[in-house]
Each structure stands twice: as C-alpha cells, then as structure tokens.
Structure 1
Amino acid sequence: MDELSTIKKVAILGSSGGNLFYLGGKEPEKLLEELLLQIEAAGMVCGTLQFIAAKASMDAVKENTPAELYTWDESTRKPTVIAKGTIADVNTTASQLDSEIAAKIAKGEMDAVIFMSADPNGANKSAVEAAAAMNLPATGTGGTSMAAIASKGVNVISTSGTTGTTNRTRAVTFLTSLSKHFGVPYRPIIGKALNNNQLDKTSVLPFQRINLRGMMLSSLPGFIAMALVLALSKIPGLTMLGEVFDLMINALPVILAVVAAKQVADFDDVSIVAGIVAGVLSVKGGLIGGIIGGILAGLLVQYIFRKCVEWKFPATTVNIAAGGIAGLISGLAVFFLIAPVALWLGEGIRSLLDLLVSTNGALAGLIAGLLIWPAIIGGVYHAAILPIVLLEMEKTGNSFLGAVDMAGLVMVSAGITLANIVSPRDKGEAAVAAPGFAINMGFGTFVEAAYPFMFSNKYIFAGAILSSGLGGLLVGLFDVRGTAYVPSFMAPLLSNHMTGFIIAMAGSLICSFLITLSINKISVKKTRNTVKENEIAG
C-alpha cells in the first residue's frame, strides 16, 4: 500500500468562538500554528480547514463585526485568509466553503474532524452532516456546539468545554484522542516549529528540556530586582523596604520553580500554575528546593496531562488536574522530603565560599579573577559560577563572585573596547568596539564584545586575565559583595562597600585599557615601520 495513503487527513472546522476568543481564538494564527504542529507530531496532516476568526467574541458579535475566513492552501501547506469583511459577508463565503469540505468528506478524502466552537446549524452544517454520514471520528471543544454536533450523529470520541484550556493543551488533547483512536504513536511536541514547518525534534523528551543554565538566566531579573530593593532600603526614609527585601527572598524559589516547570512542561498557563504551587511549597528548600520542585512539577504536568486525556477527562478538568495536582505533589515532596537536604546543600556552598573569602579574601579574589575569563570562554561560567552567585544573592542580595564578575569581566571588557575606540589598530575596530563599550557600561553585560580583540592578540588576552585578577584581588581586599547585569554606575550602589567596589571596578578597567592601548600603539607602529621598509625596498 502507498505510504501516503495511510497518512490520516484531518479536517479542522470552527471559529474563534465565544469563550474560546479569550483563550486563544482572537489570535487565529497562533491557535492554528499550535494545532498544525501537534497534527504533524502525530504523523497526520491537515486535509482541509475552515476557521472563522471574528474580531470580537461570538457571544457579543454583530452583523457588522469584522472577521476573516481561513482555509487550507495545499500549495504552501499553510492556513490562508480567503475572505475579509463583516461577519455576515464572511459567513456567506464560509457556507460555500462548507459545501466544498462536505464534498471532500463524502468522497472519503478525510479521516477525522477537529471542531473548535463550530456551528453545526450554520457555517458547518454540511460538513457536520457529511462527517456523521461517513462516521468519521471527531473531537473538539465548545460545550454547546459539541453537544449539538453529537446530537446530529457525529462519532464524537472526546469532547470538552474551553474553560481553562490553552492553544497547546487543546491541541494535545485533540491529537491524543485521535492517535489513540487510530492506534498511531504520538508524543506532543513542546517547542516552536522551525523553518519550512519542520519540527524541533530535540525538544520532545521532558528530561531533555531540563537546562539549569537556562533556568538561572531566566530567573536572573528576579535577583536583580531584589538587589535594587536592598539598595533602596538603605536610603534614609526608605528603610521600610527592608520588609519587602525579606519577602522577595522568599519569592526567589517560587520564581525558579515557575521557570523550571515552564521549561520542562511548556504547557503555557498550566505549567506556570503548577510551578507556582510547587514553588510556594518549596520555599523552605531555598533556590535548590525551588528548582527541584519546578522540575518535578514540569515532569508531572506532562504525565498527568496525558493520562487524563487517555482517560477521556474533559479538557478543563485535564488542565485543572495537571496544573493543580502536579504542583501539589511535587511541592509536598520538596516540603516534607527534599527541603532540608536542599537547604543544607545551599548553606554548605555559601559557607564554603565565605570560609575561603574570610581566610584570605585578597587571594580568593585574585584566583577568582584569574579564572573567570577562562571559565566564561570555556562555558563553565553559566553552569557553575552563576548558580553560586545566585545562591549568595539569595541570602544577602549581593555576591562576592558577582562583584568579581562586574570587575573582572564587565569592566575588563569595557577597558579593552574603550582602548580600541581611543586608539584602534585600524578604523574598522573602533566601529566594532563602540557598541560593546556602551552596552558593558550601560547594562553590565556583553563581555563577549572583547572577544575579537582578545582572540586576535595573545597579549591582549593575557592582559585581560591579568586585569581581571587585579579586579578580583581588589574585590577580595575590600571584602566587596555586589552584582553584574546592572549599569556600571549603579553597581556600587547595590554593593556592601561602595568605595571598595568603585576602586575594584576602576582598577580593572584602567588596567585593561592601558594594556590594550599600549599593545595597539606598538602594533600600529610596527605596521607603519613595515610599510616604510617595503616602500624603501620597492
């Protein structure tokens, strides 16, 4: 048998709906994109499409409400708009398309139907009758419309209302039901489509989506917000913000749990809710507890969601069970079992670092400064150093390694780029260096701006490490706690030692600037001498 003939063709029929309008229907492209993504993941294809997208909820629609009609373009294999105008005009065209789709169904060209807030007595009347006559398996959402569709004899294998659903959870529910009916394998795709509608197969397995570095980076804004609150609380008249700071410390595990759950499950609001529930119950475990709770919640969301769909629970119930129960189970596991161990581990890491710094702060800072450039270039920084920075910030709002980051990476990069603005080896380098310097100084990030200059000259590379070591030494000497990822002029305000941090930042910046400037001038001089020698020889 021809392989193409075994591929199931699905008809998508419906509208932006009443309640559905507020749950994804008002953005039809995203709604259809998610549905098509899951259809392809199940090894099926879209055979035909009729989707009426109104600019208002169908519960309050009027004859002059603007609307668009989407259909399936076989040449591009994408949804396309074939009619625009008032809802009355669009419904007229939709009725004609309905007849064409009914004919396709009657000829046996469709294998299944997905309904979303369809109108079995109006725009979808002929297609519904044809689906009933051909006994096509159907699934969909929209309580009232699905009840009417079932009453017309359509073989509805699963149905649900739209309350509490999202584009992704609806699509996964539809395809889980259809794949089970046809006996074909299906694993939901969690991720975006790539070019030419190719799926991101690497994001299929939940365990493969666990990325600690990504969780830390995504959660960083919460830590910076906490550091800002700490700095403001030191201003006379704003001491009441100290209570806000304490509250935000307790919120950090929740932030990490939400980010982790969203990353692992990526079921939109469902995974976010599960992460919040798990995070609230994981607060006693600190950052590590929050991460563990979020990861567990994300994994459980996927498992519970699929099981509930297989048991033919309504989509609304599926979402409630997946979000609520997954968050509760994972949160309770952390609360009663994991939190003490996670808290002990976090405290142990902080205590070890504090011991090293208190024993010989200058030496500890020097070593950290010398190693931080090789660490970020080798990919170790975000995997090892950043988590420690966040663990430090969880307790005090700033960090020893965070201060080394600002002085040893950001300021050194700024110094190198500044030197290439003032005295570049050629004019083109100044244009490359200027944006990097501005970003480092203005935002406390983009240390990679120095890479072109460091990698093109081993002496500048060595100068960067030397300057970073000096910055780290000064950080340790003054026992500074601070943070990067903020404007350079603001960083000292967020530290525990403003003067010391200014000295450390200025020291590393000036050192890297002078070294790079000297190397550039020597390089330019050598180039000129070489040119003169060639001219004389010529």
Structure 2
Amino acid sequence: MKRIVIIGSSGGNLYNLGGKDPQKLLGEIRTQAESAGFEIAAIQFVAAQGSMDSAGKETSSAVYSWDEAAGAPVISFTGTLEECNQHVRSTDEQWADELRNGRVDGLISMSADPNRANEQIIKAAVEKKIPIVGTGGTSMALISAKGAHVILTSGTTGTTNRTRAISFVTAFAKHWGISYRPMIGDTKLAGAVSDSPWKRINIRGIMMSSLPGFIALALVLALSKIPGLDMLSGVFDVLIKALPVVIAAIAAKQVSDMEEVSVVAGVLAGVLSMDGGIIGGMIGGIGAGLLVNVLFRKCIEWKFPTTTVNIIAGGVSGLVAGLLVYYLLAPIALQAGEWVKVLIEGAVSYSPILAGLIAGLLIWPAIIGGVYHAAILPIVLLEMEKTGNSFLGAVDMVGLVMVSAGITLANIISPRDKSEATVATPGFLINMGFGTFVEAAYPFMFSNKMVFAGAIVSSGIAGMMVGVFDVRGTAYVPSVMAPLLSNNMLGFIVAMASGLICSLIITLIANQIAKKKNVRPTEENVSA
C-alpha cells in the first residue's frame, strides 16, 4: 500500500476555495486516497482564521494532524500563526526521516512553506525523488526550483476540494500504475467506458430538487395580481425563462457531483437550453454532467494543470451540451412539453368534473404505489412552467394534503386510542402549515379499511370540485396561502374544504365503529 503525507496551509487564494474548512478539504483527500488504496501516513496542515494574504503572526490558527486510530484529520495544536508554524517545524524533521527511510511514497503539498515550516520534509523529498503533487502557484514554483520530482502542479484558481483531491490521487495512480476510479458520494466515478454516470440520472430527484423554483414562480404570479404590484408580471416572465437553468444546474450536479464545476456546466447548458423549456434544460443538464466526468478524467490523464482541468470540465462541458440542445433538441423538447399540456387541457376541456374526479380517485393509489413523484409531479411542473399553477397541482392540494389533514384532525378530535392523537397532531400541523407530509395519514389508513376507502372517496370528491370550479393551483405551500396562488380563490377554498371535511367525517365514523367493536367484548365479560 502506497503511503502519502499531506503538508501545507489554508493558503491565500486556497482559503477562499476550501482552505477555510480544513476538515472538508482534508476529508476529501482521505476519501479519494482510500478509493485508490493509498494510506495517509501523516498530515502537517496549518489552518489560519483568515487568508494568508492578510494574516499576520498573531492570527489565530490551528495545526491539523492525522489520527491513525480514528482514520481522520484532527486538531493537534492551536495558537497564533507563528506558534503553529513553530509547532510544525518541530515535527518536520521527524517526517523528513520517514521519507529518507523509505516509509513514505508520495507527498501532497497545498500552499506549503518550503523555506521554513516545511523545509526539512521538502529537502528529504528532493533527495529521495519522492513524487510530489500540489497546488499553490508560488509554493509549487519554489518546490520545483529546489529540484523536486513534481508530477502535478497547479494554482488554486478555479479548483474545488473534490477536483483537487481527484487530481492529486489520479496523478499518483498514473505514476505508480495503479487502477483508480474517483469516489463520488457512495459510488466511484466512472471512466469513459463505464455506465456508472448514467445510473446517477434520476428524473424524480431532479424534479423534486427543482420544486422550490416552481413555488417561487407561483408566489410571484400571486403577488402580481395584487393591485399596485402588477409590475411583477415582468418578473414572472423572467422566472419562467430561468426554470430550465435551475433544472439544468441541478441535473448536472446530481449526475456529476463535482461540486462547483458541475454547477457551472449545468448553468451554461441551461442558459443555452432555455428555448427547450424544462425538458430541454434537463437534457442539457444531464448531458453537461456526463461530459464533466469524461473531460475531467481525460484532462487529468493528459496532465493538464488542475485549474485548466476545471475550466475545461466545467466550461466546455456546459457549452457542448447546451449547444446540442440549442441547435438540435430544443424544438423537440419544447414540443414534448406542449404535448403534456395539450393532453391535460384536452381532458379538462372534455369534462373538467370527470377529469377532476378521476385524478382525485387515482392520486392516493399513485402516491402509495410510488408513481406520484415519478410521473405526476413532473407533469405538475410542466403545467406550472406554462402558467405558474396546475390542474393536477390543485388536485394534489385538495386530494392529498387536505384529505390527510382531515384524517389526522379526526384522530386528534376522537382517536380510537389516546396515543393516536399524539401521532396525528404533528401531521395535521405540517399539512396545514406547509402543504406537505401527506404520509402522516398512512398509519390510520393502513390500520382501518374504512379510513383508507374514505381517503380515496374524499379525494375523488375534492378533485371533482376542482373540475367544477376549473381550478389551477399548487401544493407544497401553507394551506392559507394556497388559494392566493390559484386562478380561482373561492373555488379552491371550496375544493379544499370538501376534501378536509369529507375525510374528517368518514374517519370520525370509522373511529367510532372501531371503538364499539373494542368495547363490546369487554361489556359481555362484565355481564357474565
């Protein structure tokens, strides 16, 4: 097993690019080293409470060392910057001897001080021709000038904790002829011939993460209807155009997970994919995320400086994916979104009451069966992209949220058992206060068939009322705010009330029947 030593400091520019959070910076190196099968032998890292560009001798600082037992970096000394540098110098000779004795195979340097704090270990690395990788323009230039065997050097501009760590370990792995795939989250980043990045494509996850953007759109739409705030209609138009960018950035981040690099790639792809709507943004973002992984690895293999690697991986990936959508796929993606909208509008136009009834009856089986987030939520967001609210979004609020609120309220008022009131109360408050957590009704639905059937019937009735009043709205907002975000405030209030009251009454009846069944055997025993 190859053993590496990490030396350096939180640096000047590095401080603003991860150095101010040493645990995360060093932890990322540990993660990638473990993925390659390398062992961290030691850490000598000085972390100042400010950039080294402006820090002085009296700046509060800490020294991070490697705790072999815990397998993690820990603070071993605190004091002023001068005291911390002196502490590092006291252990520098020890690890210099380790290098000379052949017990260290590689050195990672990040904004190190080769003339003072880290002088001895650098001398030993030069003598033994130990391969060195690192960042910090001035620092690495000084180390190279001493005749060190530097196999990767770069400034810190444009880098992140993850991309630096992957660059370091990739350089070592190639130098030693060791197979290595970077660790991203709980999975290893694939090379150009592997399909692992494709496995991280999760349409449901992308849509759920993008939901706050759509809710912001709905809020602006509602505010623009208030007299005197009609100027916000222009903001609404801007937000609609921005939604593909939001989707693309999230898609690229989830597929690549290369921190800021993937976000930049996603934003670039999203800006160029705006004409394709949110479907175009998703395609552009996914493409950017896939390309980030491929280009990043190739640039590292070609020994490009880390800063250049990040620029190419983030910039070129976003441009290529975005231009592909801009010139080829945008019309197709936009038309796909239009087809969904036309399909919904066609069903509602044919019979809004029937459409609402069917949607209401099916929405509970859909969410219980795991179909809601995979199929219905994307359709809701596609509707909202066009108008800021949604027919199915309104059914969601009245058929799921309000029905769940009604079931939990019934179990607060008249529970089958006193303990159930304690379980029901948080669920009711969250549903009413935040427009989410419909799962709070599950314990009561799954334990009583009448409550389960009542939930579906109540949802069907509430959905039918959505059709009667031709309501468009959204869930995931406080219940008192939801009518304000709809196209028909009074109609939405009636539909919401119908779902809550109907489920409340049915659950109260079901609880009373259940209580009588439990009491009857006891009464017979008493009579006997």
State the TM-score bracket (shorter-chain normalisation).
over 0.9
Counterparts of 1:208 and 1:184, CA distance in 2: 25
Counterparts of 1:469 and 1:9, CA distance in 2: 65
Counterparts of 1:133 and 1:80, CA distance in 2: 29
Counterparts of 1:278 and 1:184, CA distance in 2: 34
CA contact (8 A) 1:362 1:473 kept: yes
Equivalent residue number for residue 79 of structure 1 = 73
The DSSP-based 3-state class of the residue aligned with 1:353 is helix
CA contact (8 A) 2:182 2:188 kept: no
CA contact (8 A) 1:412 1:508 kept: yes
- 1:201-224, Cα deviation, whole Å (9 max, x unpaired): 377622111111111011000000
Counterparts of 2:189 and 2:473, CA distance in 1: 36
Counterparts of 2:226 and 2:271, CA distance in 1: 30
Q: Which amino acid aligns with 1:188?
A: P
How has the CA–CA distance of structure 1 residues 95 and 298 changed in structure 2, closer, same or farther, with 3 Å as cutoff?
A: same
1:249-398 aligned at under 5 Å gives the runs 249-398=240-389
Equivalent residue number for residue 58 of structure 1 = 52
Equivalent residue number for residue 513 of structure 1 = 504
Counterparts of 1:61 and 1:134, CA distance in 2: 33
TM-score by length of 1: 0.96
The DSSP-based 3-state class of the residue aligned with 1:14 is strand
Counterparts of 1:122 and 1:155, CA distance in 2: 19
CA contact (8 A) 2:393 2:472 kept: yes
CA contact (8 A) 2:182 2:189 kept: no
Counterparts of 2:498 and 2:406, CA distance in 1: 10
Superposition misfits of 4+ residues, deviation over 4 angstroms: none
Task: Give the Å deviation of 1:404.
Answer: 0.4
Equivalent residue number for residue 225 of structure 1 = 216
CA contact (8 A) 1:203 1:209 kept: no
The reply on whether 1:30 has 2:24 as its aligned counterpart is yes
The DSSP-based 3-state class of the residue aligned with 2:134 is strand
Counterparts of 2:459 and 2:231, CA distance in 1: 37
The reply on whether 1:477 has 2:468 as its aligned counterpart is yes
The reply on whether 1:201 has 2:192 as its aligned counterpart is no
Q: Of the candidates 433, 447, 467, which is equivalent to residue 458 of structure 2?
A: 467
The reply on whether 1:154 has 2:154 as its aligned counterpart is no
Equivalent residue number for residue 3 of structure 1 = none
The reply on whether 1:116 has 2:110 as its aligned counterpart is yes
CA contact (8 A) 1:482 1:492 kept: yes
The DSSP-based 3-state class of the residue aligned with 2:78 is strand
The reply on whether 1:187 has 2:181 as its aligned counterpart is yes
Counterparts of 1:385 and 1:511, CA distance in 2: 24
Equivalent residue number for residue 174 of structure 1 = 168
Q: Of the candidates 10, 16, 20, which is equivalent to residue 14 of structure 2?
A: 20
Counterparts of 1:235 and 1:190, CA distance in 2: 47
How has the CA–CA distance of structure 1 residues 218 and 203 changed in structure 2, closer, same or farther, with 3 Å as cutoff?
A: farther
Q: Of the candidates 87, 92, 102, which is equivalent to residue 98 of structure 1?
A: 92
How has the CA–CA distance of structure 1 residues 105 and 533 changed in structure 2, closer, same or farther, with 3 Å as cutoff?
A: same
Q: Which amino acid aligns with 1:525?
A: K
Counterparts of 2:127 and 2:245, CA distance in 1: 52
Equivalent residue number for residue 47 of structure 1 = 41
- Structure 1 window deviating more from structure 2 (329-338 vs 522-531): it is 522-531
The reply on whether 1:530 has 2:521 as its aligned counterpart is yes
Counterparts of 1:202 and 1:143, CA distance in 2: 30
Structure 1, unaligned stretches of length 5 or more? 1-6, 192-199
Task: Give the Å deviation of 1:534.
Answer: 2.4
Task: Give the Å deviation of 1:503.
Answer: 0.8
- 1:348-374, Cα deviation, whole Å (9 max, x unpaired): 111011101100111111111111011
Counterparts of 1:100 and 1:368, CA distance in 2: 72
- 1:277-323, Cα deviation, whole Å (9 max, x unpaired): 10010001001000000000011111111111111111111111111
Equivalent residue number for residue 232 of structure 2 = 241
Q: Which amino acid aligns with 1:534?
A: N
Task: Give the Å deviation of 1:243.
Answer: 0.9
Task: Give the Å deviation of 1:62.
Answer: 1.2
Q: Which amino acid aligns with 2:275?
A: K
- Structure 1 window deviating more from structure 2 (522-531 vs 63-72): it is 522-531
Q: Of the candidates 398, 402, 405, which is equivalent to residue 396 of structure 2?
A: 405
Task: Give the Å deviation of 1:495.
Answer: 0.6
Task: Give the Å deviation of 1:535.
Answer: 2.8
Equivalent residue number for residue 414 of structure 2 = 423
Q: Which amino acid aligns with 1:19?
A: N
The DSSP-based 3-state class of the residue aligned with 2:75 is strand
- 1:16-54, Cα deviation, whole Å (9 max, x unpaired): 011111111111011111111111111212111111111
Q: Which amino acid aligns with 2:108?
A: I
Task: Give the Å deviation of 1:473.
Answer: 0.8
Counterparts of 1:184 and 1:277, CA distance in 2: 35
CA contact (8 A) 1:42 1:185 kept: yes
Task: Give the Å deviation of 1:13.
Answer: 0.8
CA contact (8 A) 1:64 1:87 kept: yes
Equivalent residue number for residue 436 of structure 1 = 427
The reply on whether 1:135 has 2:126 as its aligned counterpart is no
In angstroms, what is the RMSD of aligned CA positions?
1.0
CA contact (8 A) 1:372 1:381 kept: yes
Counterparts of 1:133 and 1:358, CA distance in 2: 81
Percent of pairs identical after alignment? 63
Counterparts of 2:279 and 2:88, CA distance in 1: 54
Counterparts of 1:224 and 1:494, CA distance in 2: 9
- Structure 1 window deviating more from structure 2 (40-49 vs 510-519): it is 40-49
TM-score by length of 2: 0.98
CA contact (8 A) 2:98 2:104 kept: yes
Q: Which amino acid aligns with 2:345?
A: D
- 1:100-119, Cα deviation, whole Å (9 max, x unpaired): 11111111111111110011
Q: How many residues align?
A: 523
CA contact (8 A) 2:223 2:232 kept: yes
Structure 2, unaligned stretches of length 5 or more? 191-195
Equivalent residue number for residue 437 of structure 2 = 446
Task: Give the Å deviation of 1:478.
Answer: 1.3
Counterparts of 2:63 and 2:295, CA distance in 1: 36
Counterparts of 1:514 and 1:39, CA distance in 2: 61
